[in-house]
Amino acid sequence: MNIAIIGSGPSAFYAAQYLSNDEKVKVDIIEKFFAPYGLVRYGVAPDHQKTKNIIKLFNRILERKNVDFFGNINVSKDISLSFLSKNYDAVLIATGASKDKLLNIKGESLNGVIGSSEFVGWYNDNPDFKGLSPNLNSNNVVIIGNGNVALDCARILSKTEEEFNGSDISKENLKDLINSNIKNIYIIGRRGPKEAKFTIAELREFKDINEYSVSINFSRETIKTFINDETIDTRVKKNLEVFNDLFDIGKKNKEIIFDFFKSPVEIYGNGKVEGIRLKDKNGVLFDIETSLIIKSIGYRATTIDNLKMDKTNNFILNNDGHIEKNIYTTGWASSPSVGVIGTNKVKAIETVKKILTEVNHIKKNSTSKLKDEIIKNNITYVSKNAWKTLNQTEEDRAMPNFVREKFKDINLVLKTLNIN
């Protein structure tokens, strides 16, 4: 059986792992970027190297003889989905959710308003955002959202150079971050601290930030009242206990402000953002002057070759993973983008089992046909052996005390690989 997987993030690798356990199944992973790992490489914060250790498992999967990697290939642009469907027994779309959801308020399109996918992509050297230059000269930065990604954005903005040791932040981005003029980072939540979606591990990290104090628009007594509420679940209670501990940090020159029960009404400015207007639950309006707003309210998937989308929840329409013909989907491309890296492992395996049950082994020489199509279309791709070379080069060129210096320019990648 020959299976093509589009995308190379966690769901793709979990699917490839299960499929390739059978040596009779050949898996070709097709990725639009020159590097694999998707969310782990371009979504996990550079200072969360323990989370990125899952790459070690993914590397072992790539080492399997019946697993191949084709990087720098954009399905739809370079190779059509119909070609893959015709030449493979099944195609599994595992492209994740890479676009930001919209606030749908006035001024959202002003220069200086960016999504968390853009900001995270920038500090993680995602090639799609290599030209992004966030305005770090603003005294105030406003982050809209109360999930883990919002906390990642605030933490990355607040760290000193020393605090980035052991990360894979790039030399260029590190310089921009530590030379910023940011004094206040506002984390805006539509609901209250009991409803916030971040995890305790992410929140606890704010206790150890060197240059910033942390404030909450609730009194310590109110937080303690919430903690003593026997109706709240354990996760919420632990988060509230961390908030209680944050009161002990003491005032510093810079501040991270958790501002709950505030909803964005409009973003204003003349050609570029100058501020945001918020409304509290009583309808009172507040303005914050800023030239950088980061929207972190969730992600949405994008389609491939005009496959139909669920317009409400922003994923590819499917029936328990099946889209049409021999085309399937899993992970955040197939359902609302919630959870952490391991969340979609179960779903990936369920979808793979469905494929193995429903699809007949009738296609021959799929990989050879893919390579022929690559040559025909004059596509320069990165093989798994070429990726090994790039991976080692990234590690070799890392700054002292850092993990790697990522490539983000395909032309430099090809030059490094001596590919014309």
Same domain, 133 and 276: yes
Domains contained in the chain, number: 2
Same domain, 264 and 241: yes
pLDDT mean across residues, the chain? 94
Cβ neighbours of residue 54 under 8 Å, at least 6 residues apart? Answer: 10, 40, 341
Residues in the chain: 420
CA distances 190 to 143, 196, 261, 274, Å, are 12, 9, 5, 21
pLDDT bucket at 420, cuts 50 / 70 / 90? low
Average pLDDT estimate for 231-239: 92
Which one of 298, 333, 351 terminates a domain? 298
Q: Put the strands of the sheet holding 140-144 in their side by side order.
A: 113-115, 292-295, 140-144, 184-188, 254-259, 212-216
Which one of 246, 269, 298 terminates a domain? 298
Distance CA(262)–CA(353), nearest Å, equals 45
Average pLDDT estimate for 258-272: 97
CA distances 366 to 78, 298, 309, 322, Å, are 17, 36, 28, 21
Average pLDDT estimate for 210-224: 93
Mind giving me the DSSP string for 80-145?
-HHHHHHHSSEEEE-----EEPP---BTTTSBTEEEHHHHHHHHTT-GGGTT----TT-SEEEEE-
Q: What is the percentage of the chain residues whose pLDDT exceeds 70?
A: 100
pLDDT at 4 > cutoff 70: yes
Distance CA(277)–CA(288), nearest Å, equals 7
Same domain, 279 and 311: no
pLDDT at 338 > cutoff 80: no
- For 107-119, what is each residue's pLDDT tens digit? 999 999 999 999 9
Same domain, 168 and 288: yes
Same domain, 320 and 380: yes
Same domain, 107 and 250: yes
pLDDT at 342 > cutoff 90: no
Question: In which residue are the tokens 């739809």 written?
Answer: 76
Average pLDDT estimate for 259-271: 97
Domain that holds residue 285: 100-298
Same domain, 357 and 233: no
Average pLDDT estimate for 284-313: 92
Give the model's pLDDT for residue 361.
83
- For 83-139, what is each residue's pLDDT tens digit? 999 999 999 999 999 899 999 999 999 999 999 999 999 999 999 999 999 999 999
**One-letter identity of residue 175:** K
pLDDT bucket at 340, cuts 50 / 70 / 90? confident
145 φ, ψ (degrees, to nearest 5): 140, 155
Q: Among 264, 296, 266, 260, which residue's Cα sits nearest to residue 279? A: 264
Same domain, 109 and 90: no
Q: Report the phi/psi class of residue 317: left, alpha or beta, with left for phi > 0 and alpha for psi in -120 to 50.
A: beta
pLDDT at 337 > cutoff 80: no
Which one of 257, 272, 298 terminates a domain? 298
Q: Taking the mean position of all CA atoms in its chain, how far away is CA 235?
A: 23
Residue 380's CATH number: 3.40.50.720
Same domain, 140 and 193: yes
Stretch among 195-209, 333-347, 356-370 having the lowest mean pLDDT:
333-347
Q: What is the percentage of the chain residues whose pLDDT exceeds 90?
A: 90
CA dihedral (234, 101, 258, 222) positive or negative: negative
Give the model's pLDDT for residue 396.
97
pLDDT at 312 > cutoff 90: no
Same domain, 91 and 148: no
